[in-house]
Amino acid sequence: MKLAYLTAGAAGMYCGSCLHDNALAKALIKTGHDAILVPVYTPIQTDEEDISRPVLFFGGLNVYLQQLTPIFRLLPKWMDRWLDTPALVRWIASRAMGTSASNLGALTVSMLRGKNGNQRKEVDRLCEWLETLSPDVIIFSNLLIAGCLTQIKERIRCPVIVILQGDDIFYANLEEPFRTQALTELRRLAAQVDRFVVHSQSYGKRMQQLLEFPSDRMSVLNLSIDTHEYRSLAITTDRPMRPPTIGYLARLAPEKGLHSLVEAFIKLRQQGAIPDAKLEIAGWLGAQHQAYWRALEQRMINAGLQNAFRYWGTIDRGQKLAFLQSIDVLCVPTSYQEPKGLFVLEALACGVPYVLPEHGAFPELHSRLQAGHLFDPESGEQLVKRLVLALQDLPASRRLGQDGRQRVFDTASTQHEAEQLLQIISSLIPHPST
């Protein structure tokens, strides 16, 4: 079976969706199917082998210029190919472009309108490529990149699956009138999708209400990671010879809740319950959040904790494994309702339990994995208490992490998710009667 899997790059940063899509496509290939992962907007950035094709559709630079100036909608194909060169787009993305919704309203609406938008020649280019490929099914990593869906349905005539994994967060940050216009287009596209895939029931229900599609067109799959490298790690329940350590692994951004963790860490230290506790922080820091991080850094320094925290920067796979093995509990106290929580699985695969807010996908992950603690997202005091609980009895926490590690291996590998996805695909593809 041939699967065309379109995934949106994130302007040069590591993002959970890119990591998930790359790992899932690799697992689909291992099952014997021809899964072709193709980036949209910008090349993807992963911390493992990138299996995406060296081709780019709806290149971010190109579609931006086509939105800005009509003459770019008339460029010859050779010039379009140059503008879509992955190396060029990657270089531009690292310096000037971004994926913030606040300044992309008009472009978002235009892209969602497909052939009726300003990027119509890009729609034709993708459809022509798909016609040549002739896939049995097409998978979009989110609905925001599926503006060409109407034309695909007309020309390719195969089932289309859309994975919903944060579309609403981007949509909610659009400014009016673009937010209302975008919702109209998203609902129009949603009516044409054969199956939506989500990773939590709560997120699925929220998106079902937003996009107005029936529940029988939605499937919930267990979130997964590639567990191969994690299985070879020597993880024990022995008490490490270092201070009790909290870890934060996510983008350094307000919506990820780093400020909440910093305040909780300061209170934890000031209360004296864990007098030598440390805070390790790792993740991508965008230019728009430099001041945010500097303020948090200064807040900890002013509290006399300049030697109690460390920022690792953006980390690759090897550094991620080292980071996760250097902490005793993971805490990413998101202010928004997280649709996935890939970092939870990554931490547990290293035997590290979690402290997470009781909203979004986290309660369902907790119900399944039972390897950490939840707290009321409105209570900073409860966050401190849960962190103290995790750090005061480290042997118990490490046993909790070990149990969670085994559950991740047993139920949350990409091989498991690939098998579930293939069952969905099989139900959508007509089989000849015998």
Beta strands in 115-200 (DSSP E): 137-140, 160-163, 195-198
How far is the C-alpha of 202 from the C-alpha of 220, rounded, in Å? Answer: 10
Rg (CA), the chain: 22
Q: Delimit the domains of the chain by residue range.
A: 2-226+414-428, 231-411
> What pTM does this model have?
0.91
Q: What is the mean pLDDT of the chain?
A: 91
pLDDT, residue 240, reads: 67
pLDDT band at 105 (very low <50, low <70, confident <90, very high): confident
- CATH placement of domain 231-411: 3.40.50.2000
Structure tokens belonging to residue 327: 């902490």
**Top-tier CATH class for 2-226+414-428:** alpha beta
The 10s digit of each residue's pLDDT in 35-77 is 999 998 888 878 788 899 888 888 767 777 777 777 766 666 7
Same fold, 2-226+414-428 and 231-411: yes
Q: What is the pLDDT of residue 103?
A: 59
The answer to whether residues 166 and 199 touch, using CB atoms and an 8 Å cutoff, is no
Q: Is the pLDDT of residue 90 over 50?
A: yes
Q: pLDDT tens digit string along 151-195?
A: 999 999 999 999 999 899 889 989 999 999 999 999 999 999 999
- What is the full DSSP assignment across 303-333? TT-TTSEEE--S--HHHHHHHHTT-SEEE--
- Residue 88 pLDDT: 58
Cα(263)–Cα(339) distance, rounded to whole angstroms?
Answer: 24
Residue 56 carries which side chain, given as an amino acid letter?
Answer: L
Q: Report the percent of the chain where pLDDT is more than 70.
A: 89
